[in-house]
Structure 1
């Protein structure tokens, strides 16, 4: 019943079963209208579009996101083209001439893992890594590790990209890190936003929460965001002119000034067509009464049907024994199967692609994602028989 909102992408990909939603989610049709709206606004307003965007479009989109995540101060949300840019602003808050100790996991998104690995080549930077598996003890082990050292930055995912395993109670998880009161805590929510019902109201003053529109929000690439704790006095070294909004009219100062809200973490000129798309999709969902809870319930039903069909096939590689995380109550919107080797995964993914089934894989793990534009009655896995 939700496919009506995705007709353009579905028509363009007729004959395909798209199980890579967690990688590149289809865009609802309203996103095309949003692209044209951005073009028309640019033509109509030219330089004046910046005032319009920052006085109308940005606050509206901040409010839409704040409503979804239960954030009490929408103005604490800042936008950027990608989360890596936001991560770099967080890292640039620290004086890299001084000792820096970071706690994270072995399952963070590649740009972050690559970046801190590069930083750890400096003698004064130490990166401690906690294994996410076994899942049952992860939260306890992570909290114990956080209490064992003096950390300046703690970075962890809400849903881990390489397994689908999700932190079930994010506020409780953050509360378990209370012993590191001075540490900056950042939560990568990219695989949680618009997938798992998330209430940040009780931890909004404690964490930086990063997410974006490329995955489950269906707005495409180019619009990521971060919620910044109210009263933050951080002064990112990596900073651009957007971060001076609210101070541009002030007298010139010898000191670099920053916005008093989340935009102290802003960068510089960016293409806001992505924000227009995200805005349009979130407004559509709000108008249609499509809440994240409703989306999550629908996707869980899709996952159950998919697993049932697989069990009937008794496929050697895609059996429950190879499913990484089994508890759908503590799970994101994709299922991950671990096979014997990367080459085995690549071969199976290629076989599926030839049959019109689009998947996504990393190393020895094959991922199947699920979305609103799926209809479980149309699932055809017959290519896996025999």
Structure 2
């Protein structure tokens, strides 16, 4: 089996003897991203104020094209960047009139960037949020469809892969045709993009798709993006000067203008170092012909090798009966074990950490992630925790 560890030498050398099983939380960066840091510095030194011409004229279009190819999206110009998905999420929400009632359909398995924000919105009194429980997973699709049919919603928000279980949500094709045309649909793709083969072509003009580089795109924090449907005429109230970059030097009109492409949801000045790192990762994948399909296949094999070790442990808590999943053949890039209480999770985490195995947890759920910088033999290290 091919090993990819030599592509992550800088990070791995900083953590000798460690098995990092939390790439779904903070992925190690491949070595190619180190030069990208310097490239941004050099472009800034050479361009100073004119560096924006390089960033908007060359770097952003290049990464837009790469992401569009990665996600099978027909319109690269509809990708807009921000430092985090929360910025982009709130720009979309700011398109709704706060004086009018707002109804939202979502799940109880969304990440805090969304779940915290909508809880705060509910304090307005005119915002209604319907949350469909993710579990039991076997019946989620039916319950989601029923909720969609029960009433009209202004906004539907769901994940591609749920962050606290790695269970894949029902495919868009199974429910999106049943959503009213005037309902705005957002999909959190953070745990899908770069991990699961994703094809947005069919839905490109219907949904807003959110993701970023912190996890499986391996470029670290600071470069998130959203796809915007073509011909979108929404006018986010939360807006910045990037949103009409082309007309910046022209006399400003009384009515605020917006770009005709995805940039209408852009914000203001940000550090684009992470975009350079992301470009370096995507360039590397293209040079090596390393597709998402190939990465996903590699990780699926790692997961099976990991589960063989789990079976050999025959541990009373850390075993397949505690594994949260719906279909391991169609699953995200981490495995989640649901234990009885948080104390059990903390104790297992401690034992694993003492032998150099880094995991992460959410309450009573212990999570193990998988990455290209793992080899199947690495998981033998788990046995040391229970000797």
Mark yes or no: TM-score above 0.5: yes
SS of corresponding position for 2:38:
helix
**What residue is the counterpart of 2:79 in the other structure?**
77
Q: Which moved more, 1:375-384 or 1:152-161?
A: 375-384
Once residues 171 and 251 of structure 1 are traced to their aligned partners in structure 2, the CA distance between those partners, rounded to angstroms, is 45
SS of corresponding position for 2:186:
strand
**What residue is the counterpart of 1:186 in the other structure?**
186
Asked whether the 8 Å contact 2:137–2:326 carries over to 1, the reply is no
**What residue is the counterpart of 1:333 in the other structure?**
333
Asked whether the 8 Å contact 2:138–2:326 carries over to 1, the reply is no
Q: 2:129 aligns with which of 105, 123, 127?
A: 127
Q: Deviations over 1:320-352 (max 9, x none)?
A: 110010521221000000011112211211221
SS of corresponding position for 1:114:
helix
Residue 19 (structure 1) aligned with residue 17 (structure 2): no
Residue 246 (structure 1) aligned with residue 234 (structure 2): no
Once residues 185 and 94 of structure 1 are traced to their aligned partners in structure 2, the CA distance between those partners, rounded to angstroms, is 13
**What residue is the counterpart of 1:266 in the other structure?**
266
Q: CA deviation at 1:250?
A: 4.1
Q: 1:337 to 1:17 in 2, by over 3 A?
A: same
Q: 1:138 aligns with which of 140, 144, 148?
A: 140
CA RMSD of aligned residues (A): 1.1
**What residue is the counterpart of 1:307 in the other structure?**
307
Once residues 123 and 170 of structure 1 are traced to their aligned partners in structure 2, the CA distance between those partners, rounded to angstroms, is 31
Q: CA deviation at 1:167?
A: 2.5
Asked whether the 8 Å contact 2:24–2:369 carries over to 1, the reply is yes
Q: CA deviation at 1:159?
A: 0.3
Asked whether the 8 Å contact 1:313–1:384 carries over to 2, the reply is no
Once residues 253 and 127 of structure 2 are traced to their aligned partners in structure 1, the CA distance between those partners, rounded to angstroms, is 33
**What residue is the counterpart of 2:4 in the other structure?**
2
SS of corresponding position for 1:233:
coil
**What residue is the counterpart of 1:206 in the other structure?**
206
Once residues 143 and 286 of structure 1 are traced to their aligned partners in structure 2, the CA distance between those partners, rounded to angstroms, is 38
Q: CA deviation at 1:168?
A: 5.4
Q: CA deviation at 1:169?
A: 2.9
Q: Deviations over 1:266-312 (max 9, x none)?
A: 00000000100001001100110000000000000000000011001
Asked whether the 8 Å contact 1:146–1:180 carries over to 2, the reply is no
SS of corresponding position for 2:153:
coil
Asked whether the 8 Å contact 1:168–1:330 carries over to 2, the reply is no
Residue 110 (structure 1) aligned with residue 112 (structure 2): yes
Unaligned regions of 5+ residues in structure 2, if any? none
Asked whether the 8 Å contact 1:315–1:384 carries over to 2, the reply is no
SS of corresponding position for 1:381:
helix
Q: CA deviation at 1:247?
A: 2.6
Q: 1:154 aligns with which of 153, 156, 159?
A: 156
Once residues 173 and 247 of structure 2 are traced to their aligned partners in structure 1, the CA distance between those partners, rounded to angstroms, is 34
SS of corresponding position for 1:246:
helix
SS of corresponding position for 1:328:
coil
**What residue is the counterpart of 1:97 in the other structure?**
99
SS of corresponding position for 1:53:
helix
Asked whether the 8 Å contact 2:354–2:385 carries over to 1, the reply is no
**What residue is the counterpart of 1:43 in the other structure?**
45
Once residues 56 and 376 of structure 1 are traced to their aligned partners in structure 2, the CA distance between those partners, rounded to angstroms, is 40
Unaligned regions of 5+ residues in structure 1, if any? none
Once residues 231 and 97 of structure 1 are traced to their aligned partners in structure 2, the CA distance between those partners, rounded to angstroms, is 26
Once residues 193 and 61 of structure 2 are traced to their aligned partners in structure 1, the CA distance between those partners, rounded to angstroms, is 19
SS of corresponding position for 1:317:
coil
Asked whether the 8 Å contact 1:240–1:267 carries over to 2, the reply is yes
Q: 2:55 aligns with which of 49, 53, 56?
A: 53
**What residue is the counterpart of 2:216 in the other structure?**
216
Q: CA deviation at 1:174?
A: 2.7
Once residues 258 and 228 of structure 2 are traced to their aligned partners in structure 1, the CA distance between those partners, rounded to angstroms, is 13
Asked whether the 8 Å contact 1:76–1:228 carries over to 2, the reply is yes
Once residues 176 and 42 of structure 2 are traced to their aligned partners in structure 1, the CA distance between those partners, rounded to angstroms, is 44
Q: CA deviation at 1:385?
A: 3.2
Q: How many residues are paired up?
A: 384
Once residues 112 and 80 of structure 2 are traced to their aligned partners in structure 1, the CA distance between those partners, rounded to angstroms, is 22
Once residues 384 and 147 of structure 1 are traced to their aligned partners in structure 2, the CA distance between those partners, rounded to angstroms, is 49
Q: Deviations over 1:9-52 (max 9, x none)?
A: 11111100010010000000010100001011111110010011
Asked whether the 8 Å contact 1:82–1:222 carries over to 2, the reply is yes
Task: Give TM-score, length-normalised by structure 2.
Answer: 0.97
